[in-house]
Amino acid sequence: MKIDTLGNPQNPAVILLHGMFCDASSVMRYAVHLQDEYFIIMPTMDGHYRASADYSGAGMQAGKLTALLHEMHVSEIAMFQGTSMGAEVALTAAKLCDIPVKYYFFDGGPFFCFPEWFREIMRKKFEGFARKFKGKSREDVMKDLFIRWIGGDNLHDYQNMLDSFVRSADFMTPESIRNITETCYHCILPEFPEAVQRKFIFHFSEKEPAQKSKKRLKQAYPYARYFTYPGNGHCGFQAAEPERYAAFLKKIISS
């Protein structure tokens, strides 16, 4: 795992954790609108940059991030935000990380627990992506029917994510892909007391497939807050309106 940062280290810390097949650059469009008030910490998880260790699962990544935050002398976190698969790693960090966090913001997390046969199908699909898009361009990815289904009609809004996706195709290993699939589609929801649940904000776009996991989330975390962004695809708020999205995060932190 490696860390990129923006802003003044003396300001309150905000963690922005990317999604699958992406890296820290994928959050940059809204991170730049937070750096004036916060110290922005942007990890790139294992398996998502060249010559790194394989992605090893949500628990291992949460543990590594916690250790790095201690090395950086981060004593408290204003917000821990995770995008897509990063939302599931953030939820695991809420269980494992011993640094106080004011709010957790989970954006578009696929908090599903599917049977093994389905996970195997998705693993093979993701391995196919890595082969298919190796050496290709963002425009090639935008033509894929599955990507269009996930992202919706406004794929041009996802340029940072898609550029990361293309880069990762060159080095994503089968072991990383297997563990990524397990994180995304075999999510066991940890138990949390009411006080911790009240720090949770789950955010979905209206048209994204991941919002179908909201029902099980509400059953597990009835004291959390839930928001829906109308109309867009996966993580559509941050993709379509990064400046307004950053303002939304700031409003939550200051509440």
3-class DSSP state for residue 82? strand
Task: Say which residue, 154 or 206, is predicted with more confidence.
Answer: 206
If we measure between CA atoms, which residue out of 39, 100, 78 comes closest to residue 252? 78
Cα gap 102→142, rounded to integer Å? 37
Q: What is the pLDDT of residues 35-83, one digit of tens each?
A: 999 999 999 999 999 999 999 999 999 999 999 999 999 999 999 999 9
120-129, 147-156, 186-195: which has the highest mean pLDDT? 186-195
**162 has a pLDDT exceeding 80:** no
Please tell me the predicted confidence (pLDDT) of residue 148. 64
Q: What is the pLDDT of residues 210-222, one digit of tens each?
A: 999 999 999 999 9
**224 has a pLDDT exceeding 80:** yes
pLDDT band with cut points at 50, 70 and 90 for residue 145: low
Structure tokens at 204: 């979905």
> What average pLDDT score do residues 124-139 get?
81
Task: Say which residue, 207 or 158, is predicted with more confidence.
Answer: 207
246-255 long-range Cβ contacts below 8 angstroms, 24+ apart: 246/30, 246/31, 246/33, 246/34, 247/33, 249/14, 249/30, 249/34, 249/79, 249/81, 249/105, 250/34, 250/37, 252/79, 252/103, 252/105, 252/201, 253/12, 253/14, 253/38, 253/78, 253/79, 253/102, 253/103
pLDDT band with cut points at 50, 70 and 90 for residue 27: very high
Cα gap 249→79, rounded to integer Å? 8
Instruction: Report whether 90 contacts 203 (CB < 8 A).
Output: no
Task: Compute φ and ψ for 239, nearest 5 degrees.
Answer: -75, -45
pTM: 0.93
> What average pLDDT score do residues 108-135 get?
91
Please tell me the predicted confidence (pLDDT) of residue 169. 84
> What average pLDDT score do residues 149-165 get?
70
Name 227's bridge partners.
203
> What average pLDDT score do residues 170-190 get?
95
Report, in angstroms and rounded to the nearest whole number, the Rg of the chain calculated over CA atoms: 17
Q: Beta strands of the chain (E only): which ranges? A: 2-6, 13-17, 39-44, 77-83, 101-107, 200-205, 225-229
Cα gap 70→76, rounded to integer Å? 10
Please tell me the predicted confidence (pLDDT) of residue 146. 65
Average pLDDT for the chain = 92
CATH 3.40.50.1820 fits 2-253, yes or no: yes
Domain ranges across the chain? 2-253
Please tell me the predicted confidence (pLDDT) of residue 123. 96
Instruction: Report whether 194 contacts 99 (CB < 8 A).
Output: no
239 conformational bin, left if phi > 0, alpha if psi -120 to 50, beta if neither: alpha
> What average pLDDT score do residues 209-235 get?
93
Please tell me the predicted confidence (pLDDT) of residue 153. 63
Please tell me the predicted confidence (pLDDT) of residue 163. 79
